[in-house]
Chains A and B, each alone.
Chain A
């Protein structure tokens, strides 16, 4: 009993030949899927590249630790012992220390004429001169507090606080109304990504805060830099060093870790673009199904001929299914390439390293192939079920 046999390689070669014979049509019908896959790959690539860049940046900031006393029963930052900053500074791997003290019940306004209720959420922090170098921050305008100005009513504004007060520059003599007195603004800071609380604060010196604002010299938060290799060890001893009486109330955190965790989480925008990409792939799949149905109608005589030459229904069907999958896979590969190009362009434009996640590449091609399979089922069935005599009559 003879049997019809068609090798897998021959099926692929036959399908590839048919696609090549209509290469323009193939390219255009694969384009829809390519665009969808490209959008998804580009979005994943761009966000992965930005994340990688951010993580590299944060890696350099990984040795910053903060020590806080938590919050008191009013929700305001609780105080650490006066000696805490000095004690922390004596831990051997600690490279630099700076303490800030939250001044409760104080508002900052442009003038006394502004109602006290419009405080703008700006907090007043007493600070040491080493704060800026410990945080790795810098001033945008003017200067930071120095050994002289910490004794006088001088204030440095965080980036957000300055914006709230409507200050972009600090001409000499600029003043703000702080706790019933006028303080001279000597500088404005650039944003400090690792300590966003500084951005929203008005910074004054500890001596002037103690003298004029009634702060008892207590720190509420200590920032410190350690030897990068001993961050963990330092973090373990910090509670006992900062507040030996109540170590359990002390909160030690590593801001770079928080930011990194936030960066790892996908943003809502990424999700949106992925959804758009999925819709484009779906529409592309419908396009491929459409073109395959048209192809089956146009190639009725070819189908009849193949049946006459010994092709079984299954072999005719698998040829059309293979064409559909190839068409979609082509779109998938093209889309991944297009997405990678877009990611590279973005990386070059922003000076970041180019990262295209492997799951995006594999996933893109896999999704395209599955779409091709789905899109090809109906046309393949139609081709397979076409009676040979009817197919040959069409010619």
Chain B
């Protein structure tokens, strides 16, 4: 009687232990990621001021039960960095991007844009920071059909108070920079998907943003066109603008210097190409 009971207990214990082991393994990975983050802080982050910084940021959507979209995220992005945020849908990467882009406010935690904590700022002040420091690129391009390419790019400067002529000149410059100097007067319906996304990128960089945040920028494009867009984004980063690309495409992520992997609202790993061992260990697990 006693023996049977013991055996049963042992079986249950084994099952529990097995689960625990798996859990520990995952936690271990997370720890590795955190360690890398730590490296980043002491590495390049230590020498240059981060342009975008999240400290212990959580985002919980009210409901029953409340949905935790982002749990205690820490992230420092420096000037000129190319960052890929990877994860399956529902992993919280869009929430992360919205919070990085100050489009959404976190439930708790601190966000600093070029060193300034935005939690105490009014909505108008945060809007101004978006207009001056941040550029956005969306999967659906979000161009206004009734404006030509120059008009759409100039829209990126509209809320900074410059003159119309100045804005147009800057817009033309940005369009030439993305290789659309021959398409200035075309409206979005007259442009190909790749060209539209280039217009959107020009709009994001026309105002010399510190950070460009791209949400699945190649999601509506074929792979060849998408590769061109990614090449353009990396090129932008080489001029000092930090580029954050949210994607679920590992191929795109490979083109970036740094990958932030997300799952279930948590940052699972944060890896850099300068630590090849971590990348090698991480890649097969992801696929």
**Which A residues have a C-beta under 8 Å from some C-beta of B?**
1-7, 9-10, 13-14, 17-18, 20-21, 301-302, 304-315, 387-389, 392, 395
Contact = CB atoms under 8 A, between A and B. Distances in A.
Contacts of B133: 2
Contacts, number: 102
Given A2-B129, A3-B128, A309 B140 contact: no
Select the residue from B130, B134, B145 with max chain A CB neighbours within 10 A.
B130
B33 interface: no
Nearest to B215: A392
B125 A392 contact: no
Given A301-B142, A395-B142, A307 B124 contact: no
27 contacts: A2-B129, A3-B124, A3-B161, A4-B128, A4-B131, A4-B160, A5-B159, A6-B158, A9-B164, A10-B158, A14-B158, A301-B142, A305-B136, A305-B155, A307-B130, A308-B136, A309-B136, A309-B155, A309-B156, A309-B158, A310-B131, A311-B127, A312-B159, A388-B103, A392-B103, A395-B138, A395-B140
Interface string B107-151: 000000000000000011101111111101010101011110000
A389 B98 contact: yes
B161 A302 contact: no
Select the residue from B101, B144, B164 with max chain A CB neighbours within 10 A.
B144
A310 B142 contact: no
A389 B145 contact: no
Contacts of A21: 144-146
A310 B130 contact: yes
Interface residues of B, number: 31
Contacts of B142: 301-302, 304-305, 392, 395
A312 B160 CA distance: 11
A62 to B, nearest CB: 60
Contact of B159 (A4, A387, A389): A4
Contacts of A311: 127, 131, 158-159
B104 interface: yes
A7 B160 CA distance: 9
Contact of B131 (A13, A309, A313, A314): A309
Interface of B: 98, 101, 103-104, 123-125, 127-134, 136, 138, 140, 142, 144-147, 155-156, 158-161, 164, 203
A11 B10 CA distance: 74
Nearest to A313: B123
Contact of B125 (A1, A301, A302): A1
Given A10-B158, A309-B159, A313-B123, A2 B146 contact: no
Contacts of B155: 305-306, 309
A261 to B, nearest CB: 57
Contact of B127 (A7, A20, A307): A307
- Pairs A-B, 4 closest by C-beta atoms: A310-B131, A5-B161, A21-B146, A310-B159
Given A309-B131, A309-B156, A309-B159, A389 B104 contact: yes
A301 B140 contact: yes
Contact of A7 (B98, B124, B132, B161): B161
